[in-house]
Amino acid sequence: AQSVTQPDIHITVSEGASLELRCNYSYGATPYLFWYVQSPGQGLQLLLKYFSGDTLVQGIKGFEAEFKRSQSSFNLRKPSVHWSDAAEYFCAVGSTGTASKLTFGTGTRLQVTL
């Protein structure tokens, strides 16, 4: 069964500093990978996705992620964090075939200090 691991439960960075959130997946074939962000009391907003092709994908709000098959990782990065980036971030893997089911990691809560 596919699974997603986000090793960091909570991360604190200073505004303007760079950010990297880790995500490792367990899946036999090429996975469909996603990063979502959730602000308090809100739903999930899609930041970016990887299906195939270029392993470095760009998303919204200045985020990017790199797919590394050899490390089974799909880490999320941002060169300069803004205070408004404080939220919870979820990595997810999509099912193959005719199913939309997403399997989520446990999330990483990002705190930004001024």
Partner 1 sequence: KAGVTQTPRYLIKTRGQQVTLSCSPISGHRSVSWYQQTPGQGLQFLFEYFSETQRNKGNFPGRFSGRQFSNSRSEMNVSTLELGDSALYLCASSLVPTGAREQYFGPGTRLTVT
Interface with partner 1 by CB under 8 A: which residues?
A: 32, 34, 36, 41-46, 49, 51, 90, 92-107
Between 28 and 114, CB nearer to partner 1: 28
The distance of closest approach from Cβ of residue 24 to partner 1 in the complex, given in angstroms and rounded to an integer, is: 16
Contact 29, 96 (CB under 8 A): yes
The distance of closest approach from Cβ of residue 85 to partner 1 in the complex, given in angstroms and rounded to an integer, is: 19
41: its two tokens: 């009391």
- With vertex at residue 85, the alpha carbon angle to CA 84 and CA 90, rounded to the nearest 5 degrees, is 145
The distance of closest approach from Cβ of residue 114 to partner 1 in the complex, given in angstroms and rounded to an integer, is: 27
User: What is the distance between the alpha carbons of residues 36 and 64, in angstroms, rounded to a whole number?
Assistant: 12
